[in-house]
Amino acid sequence: MKKGFVLLFLLFTFFAYAQKFPNLALTPPMGWNSWNKFSCNVSEKLLKETADALVSSGMRDAGYEYIIVDDCWQISRDSMGFIVADPVRFPSGIKALADYIHSKGLKFGIYSCAGTKTCAGRPGGRGHEFQDAYLYAKWGVDYLKYDWCSSDGQSQKESYRLMSRMLKEAGRPIVFNLCEWGGSKPWEWAGEVGHLWRTTGDIFDCFDCEKKNGGWSAWGVMKILDMQKDIRQYAGPGHWNDPDMLEVGNGGMTVSEDRAHFSMWCMIAAPLIAGNDIKTMSQQTHDILTNSDAIDINQDALGIQGMKISSEDGLETWLKPLSAGDWAVCFLNRSATAKPIDFDWIKNVVTDDFSKRKLDASAETFKIKDVWTKTELGTTQKALKTEVPSHDVLMLRLSLTKK
Ligand code: GLA
C-alpha cells in the first residue's frame, strides 16, 4: 500500500514536472523578433517603438502577438548570479518593458542560451537555469528563445529538458523555443519539452543562396525550405517545426520573393516571427505580412504542415489540408522565368497519408480564391490555366462547396 502510494506520487511528480506548459502555441506563434534586422543593437526604446508600431500598423490585430528581444539585452550577472540587463540600453529594466508591452495587448519574449555564453558572447544560462526561469517569470516573460552556443560537452536533450522543467517550476506559462539548429533532430524528442524548435541554421536574407561564415553557413529561404523535408509529421498544435524567423521587408529580396517566402512559411505552418523594422516598413511589406487569407492558412486550427506534391522544372506544387474540408494550394516558381500552369483538379487526386485527407475534385467541388489578388477563380470543376512569374507564387484557398 505504502509502496503503491510512493510510486503514484513519483509518477505524478514526473508528469507534473517533466512536461512543458500545456495549451500554449496551439497555432504557430506569431510576433516580432529583433535579431534579423537589428542584431545586437537592441534597446527598450526600440522594443517600445516596435510595440507601438505593431499596434498602429494593424499587425497586432492581424495576429502578431509576441515582441521578442533577441541576443544582447543582457550584460553580466550580479554577485548573487542574477542576470543583469544592459543599464544603458534598458534604463527602466526588463520588468518595466514587459509591463509596457503587456499594456499594448501584446506578449513579451526574451532570449538566452543553454550554454555558458550566448552566440554574441553575453552570459548564457548554464548553471543558472532555475534562477533565470524564476526571474523571467517574475518579469512577466511569455516566450523564451533558448540558443545553443558555447555548449561544449552538453547534451541537447538534457539541457533543454532541464530548462523546460525550470520554467514549469517557476510557474508562469512561457512558450519555450528550442534553438539548437536541428543538430539533435529535436522534432524527434522535443514535443514534450518545448513548443517549437529550430530545424536549421540561421536564415539569410536572400532567395536561394548560401552565406558562408567561416565554420558555418546561413541559408536563403529556398535552401531552408528544402531542409524541412520529411519532418512534417512532427508538427502540430503546441509543437512546431521552426524554419527560422521571417526576412520579409529586410531588403535582400524582391517583393515577389518576399511574398513567396511568406507564402511558404504559411504553407508549412511555420511560426510567423517578423524580423524587419516595423516602424518604417513599406506598404508592400505591410501588405505581405498582414494578408489575412495567408495568415488564416498558417493559423488553421488543425495545424497540419503542408507538403510538396510535385516539382518539375523549378515549379513546385504544395498542398496544406485545412479545417472544414478546405485546402491551401501553392504553386511556387523557383526558376528564373515565368512558368505556365495547366492544372486539372479532377485528374489530380492527392492523398495525404499523414493527415488521412484526400483532395478529390471528382467527388467534391471547391471554390477557388487567389490569396494574393483576392480574386475568385471559379471552381475545381474547370482546369486552372495561368502562369506564375519567376520567384513568385500562386497561392489559393480551396473552399469546400458541396460533397
Ligand atoms: C544564433 C541564433 C540566431 C540569433 C543569434 C543571436 O545564431 O540562431 O537566431 O538568436 O544566435 O546571437
- Residues pairing with 108 in the sheet: 67
* Exposure class string for 50-73: b at 16+ Cβ within 10 A, else e: bbebbbebebbebbbbbbbbbbbb
- Average pLDDT (61-90) is 98
Amino acid sitting at position 98: A
In this structure, which residue's CA is closest to atom 11 in ligand 1? 119
Which is the closest atom of ligand 1 to the Cα of 179? 8
Contact residues for 31 (Cβ-Cβ < 8 A; gap 6+): 64, 65, 66, 67, 68, 106, 107, 109, 143, 272, 273, 274
pLDDT in tens, 319-373: 999 999 999 999 999 999 999 999 999 999 999 999 999 999 999 999 999 999 9
Which is the closest atom of ligand 1 to the Cα of 245? 9
Q: State the distance from the centre of ligand 1 to the C-alpha of 180, rounded, in angstroms.
A: 10
Most informative mutation of 74, 119, 197, 242 for ligand 1 (most atoms within 8 A of CB): 119
For residue 37, which of 287, 285, 391, 268 has the smallest C-alpha distance? 285
* pLDDT at residue 143 greater than cutoff 90: yes
User: pLDDT band at residue 3, thresholds of 50, 70 and 90?
Assistant: confident
Q: What is the DSSP letter of 305?
A: P
* pLDDT at residue 13 greater than cutoff 60: no
Report the distance separating Cα 396 and Cα 332, nearest Å.
Answer: 11
Complete DSSP assignment for 174-221: -EEEE-STTTT-HHHHGGGT-SEEE-SS-B-SSSS-EEEETTEEEE-H
Most informative mutation of 40, 68, 69, 71 for ligand 1 (most atoms within 8 A of CB): 71
pLDDT in tens, 286-332: 999 999 999 999 999 999 999 999 999 999 999 999 999 999 999 99
The per-residue pLDDT for 19 is 82
In this structure, which residue's CA is closest to atom 5 in ligand 1? 119
DSSP 3-state of 93? helix
Q: Cell numbers at residue 104, please?
A: 499594448
The segment(s) of the chain belonging to CATH 2.60.40.1180 are 307-402
Q: State the distance from the centre of ligand 1 to the C-alpha of 338, rounded, in angstroms.
A: 35
- Range list of H helices, 227-319: 255-267, 283-289, 292-298
Report the distance separating Cα 179 and Cα 70, nearest Å.
Answer: 12
- Range list of H helices, 116-196: 129-139, 156-170, 186-189
Q: State the distance from the centre of ligand 1 to the C-alpha of 340, rounded, in angstroms.
A: 39
Contact residues for 204 (Cβ-Cβ < 8 A; gap 6+): 210, 211, 218, 219, 220, 247, 252
* pLDDT at residue 5 greater than cutoff 80: no
Which is the closest atom of ligand 1 to the Cα of 119? 12
Report the distance separating Cα 150 and Cα 132, nearest Å.
Answer: 17
- Residues pairing with 111 in the sheet: 145
For residue 274, which of 18, 22, 50 has the smallest C-alpha distance? 50
The per-residue pLDDT for 311 is 98
User: pLDDT band at residue 12, thresholds of 50, 70 and 90?
Assistant: low
The per-residue pLDDT for 384 is 98
In this structure, which residue's CA is closest to atom 1 in ligand 1? 119
Expressed in angstroms, the distance from the first to the final Cα of the chain is 58
Q: State the distance from the centre of ligand 1 to the C-alpha of 365, rounded, in angstroms.
A: 45
- Average pLDDT (67-78) is 98
Please compute, for residue 98, the number of CA atoms within 13 A of its CA located in the half-sphere on the CB side: 16
The segment(s) of the chain belonging to CATH 3.20.20.70 are 25-298
* pLDDT at residue 17 greater than cutoff 80: no
| Residue 202 falls in the annotated catalytic set | yes
Report the distance separating Cα 17 and Cα 13, nearest Å.
Answer: 6
Average pLDDT, the chain: 96
Report the distance separating Cα 379 and Cα 393, nearest Å.
Answer: 19
3-state helix, strand, coil in the chain (%, to 5): 30, 25, 40
Which is the closest atom of ligand 1 to the Cα of 111? 10
CB burial class (10 A; 0-12, 13-18, 19+) of residue 377? middle
Cβ atoms 318, 329 nearer than 8 A: yes
Q: State the distance from the centre of ligand 1 to the C-alpha of 160, rounded, in angstroms.
A: 16
- Average pLDDT (127-151) is 98
Q: What is the largest CA-CA distance in the chain?
A: 74
The per-residue pLDDT for 18 is 55
Ligand 1 pocket (Cβ < 6 Å) reads 35, 70-71, 111, 118-120, 147, 179, 202
Choose, from 142, 202, 277, 352, the residue flagged as catalytic.
202
Which is the closest atom of ligand 1 to the Cα of 148? 1
CATH assignment, 307-402: 2.60.40.1180
Q: What is the DSSP letter of 278?
A: G
pLDDT in tens, 195-212: 999 999 999 999 999 999
| Residue 99 falls in the annotated catalytic set | no
Say what percent of the chain tops pLDDT 70.
96
Could you tell me if residue 241 is left (phi over 0), alpha (psi between -120 and 50 degrees) or otherwise beta? beta
Q: State the distance from the centre of ligand 1 to the C-alpha of 63, rounded, in angstroms.
A: 24
CATH fold, domain 25-298, is TIM Barrel (3.20.20)
- Residues pairing with 144 in the sheet: 110, 176
User: pLDDT band at residue 9, thresholds of 50, 70 and 90?
Assistant: low
User: pLDDT band at residue 136, thresholds of 50, 70 and 90?
Assistant: very high
Please compute, for residue 270, the number of CA atoms within 13 A of its CA located in the half-sphere on the CB side: 25
In this structure, which residue's CA is closest to atom 12 in ligand 1? 119
For residue 93, which of 105, 75, 120 has the smallest C-alpha distance? 75
- Average pLDDT (137-163) is 98
Choose, from 70, 132, 142, 147, the residue flagged as catalytic.
147
pLDDT in tens, 90-134: 999 999 999 999 999 999 999 999 999 999 999 999 999 999 999
* pLDDT at residue 2 greater than cutoff 70: no
